[in-house]
Amino acid sequence: MLHRRRFIAAILSGVPISFAVGCRNRQHAHVLKDDDKDMVGSHTAGAETWKPLIDESVARMLGRSCATIQQASHSTVDGNGMAVRRVCFVGVENRSGEVLGDFQEQIYEQIDSRVSQDPHFYMISRTYVEAALDECRCEPQSLILPEQQRKLQAILEKAEQPFDYLLFARVTSGTTNSNGDYQRDYTLTMELLDIHTGQSLKEFAEIRKGYHKSLFGKIKHY
């Protein structure tokens, strides 16, 4: 009976039957070109937020590290006399007000890939790092303690994967509410820690994003 009513309504209105019946369950997609803009998430951060945060925070960290961190025991030297640092990236910690979902894995991989492209950094394989963390039962947050560092270092040295630096990534956020609309400030912090000296280099990037209940929310608040 319902389909008959839709059929009659479609004929009277001139709307194609294929559009009037069963269209709710259809989904469409398209492949984005390199110059297409990223879709902006309506409820949480997406590619439009994480990509620039990763690019900026990693670039800042790499830029400072060349000038402030010296050669360590397991570092090698390239043909120009510059130290090649062996780095153990222990993961992405989420302290934001959102669930990162599959973006947590993507953030890790993109940071790892970008740092690996710098000729002055050698990243220990994630496979080794995760296996070592499991064996020593170390949480990434606890690796700030020298005792935990030594446990992880001992396991990786057995696998011939020693390191001199620990790399931490941390996502945080702050939320400002205004009558149902809200602004969320996202921060991605990169911290590179020399396990021999305790010297820590920290850089971060920030993005602010507004979320609105209606299309007029942006005009109202901004």
CA angle, 198 then 204 then 209, to 5° = 155
pLDDT score for 124: 96
pLDDT score for 154: 95
pLDDT score for 181: 85
The two tokens of residue 218 are 């942006």
d(CA 54, CA 189): 9
Spatial contact of 191 and 201, defined as CB atoms under 8 Å apart: yes
pLDDT score for 4: 54
Q: Which CATH superfamily is 47-221 part of? A: ABC-type transport auxiliary lipoprotein component (3.40.50.10610)
Q: Give which of 188, 183, 119, 128 is closest to 153, Cα–Cα.
A: 128
pLDDT score for 148: 94
Q: Give which of 52, 118, 66, 67 is closest to 89, Cα–Cα.
A: 118
pLDDT score for 180: 81
SS3 62: helix
Listed as ranges, residues in the chain with pLDDT below 70 are 1-24, 28-43, 67-82, 214-222
Q: Give which of 65, 56, 63 is closest to 165, Cα–Cα.
A: 65
Per-residue burial over 183-207, b if 16 or more Cβ lie within 10 Å, else e, is bbebbbbbbbbbbeeeeebebbbeb
d(CA 145, CA 106): 27
Classify strands 165-178 and 121-123 as parallel, antiparallel or unpaired: unpaired
